[in-house]
Amino acid sequence: MRIVFLGAPGSGKGTQAQRLMADFNLPQVSTGDLLRAAVADKTELGKRAKVAMDAGELVTDDIVLGIIAERLSQDDCSDGFILDGYPRNLQQAKDLEPVLAEIGQSLDAAVLLDVDMDILMKRLTGRRTCSKTGKLLNIYFSPQEKLDAVTAAGGELIQRADDNEETISNRLSVYREQTEPLVDYYREAGLLKTVAGEGEIEEIYTRLRETLGLG
């Protein structure tokens, strides 16, 4: 199975991709995660990407193309993958085609996780990661006992550097202007599948699996 996940920042792409990855043994290829790793390692590429990331802008197409081509050519992607956060604009969607042709693969579906704007804002401003386990939580939506458990275990609730309000509004407008046109692009290619992305994570996951014909 080769899937692209579309959806605004905060639509739950990462969470749902992680579920599919665990249940179907598919690698989740997230350009955001790969870029954050490069920034943390202070690589040359990470240094170039950081300024755009901190501002909520897109990193240049050539940087992400290099990252994605390298990642998709690794062995664990040969039986399928979930692309989370790539492509982010029309140029990247076009860039992806020769990369897939090179490894003899093509996409099975582009999944759009559809979520209202006000819910997106709360999901993004409330998002935290446990410093010990890497588990994703939300100060507005996670049960209080789960939030308390993090601190009780000596962990901290960390907010991503690009999850502040200014950067978030910028990321949402970048999404509307640059990424949303991909919905039509994949609809015209006959690959678009839309999943309502509101409600409990489990509920959304069930809808997602049904939409993908995964039972």
- Point out the residues that are catalytic: 13, 88, 127, 160, 171
d(CA 9, CA 160): 13
**Would you count residue 86 as binding ligand AMP (CB under 6 A)?**
yes
Q: Using CB under 6 A, which of 7, 9, 46, 197 touches ligand AMP? A: 9
Q: Could you tell me which stretch among 27-35, 133-141, 190-198, 201-209 binds ligand AMP (CB under 6 A)?
A: 27-35
Contact 34, 65 (CB under 8 A): no
Cβ distance to ligand AMP smaller for residue 35 or 192: 35
Query: Is residue 88 part of the contact set for ligand AMP (CB under 6 A)?
Result: yes
Per DSSP, the three-state class of 109 is strand
Cβ proximity to ligand AMP, 37 vs 101, nearer residue: 37
Task: Name the residue type at position 195.
Answer: V
Among residues 3, 23, 1, the alpha carbon closest in space to that of 193 is found at 3
CB of 130 to ligand AMP, least distance (A): 17
User: Cα separation of 12 and 127, whole Å?
Assistant: 11
Q: Does 7 bind ligand AMP (CB under 6 A)?
A: no
Q: What's the rounded Cα separation, in Å, for the pair 65 and 31?
A: 9
Beta bridge partners of 6: 112
Closest distance of CB 5 from ligand AMP, Å: 10
* Angular region, 125: left φ>0, alpha ψ -120 to 50, beta rest: alpha
CB of 145 to ligand AMP, least distance (A): 27
Size of the site for ligand AMP (CB under 6 A): 17
| Burial of 58 from C-beta contacts in 10 A (0-12 / 13-18 / 19+) | buried
Residues 95-134, one symbol each (x = binds ligand AMP by CB under 6 A, - = not), give ----------------------------------------
The residues that touch ligand AMP, with contacts defined as CB under 6 A, are 9, 31-32, 35, 52-53, 56-59, 64, 85-86, 88, 92, 162, 171
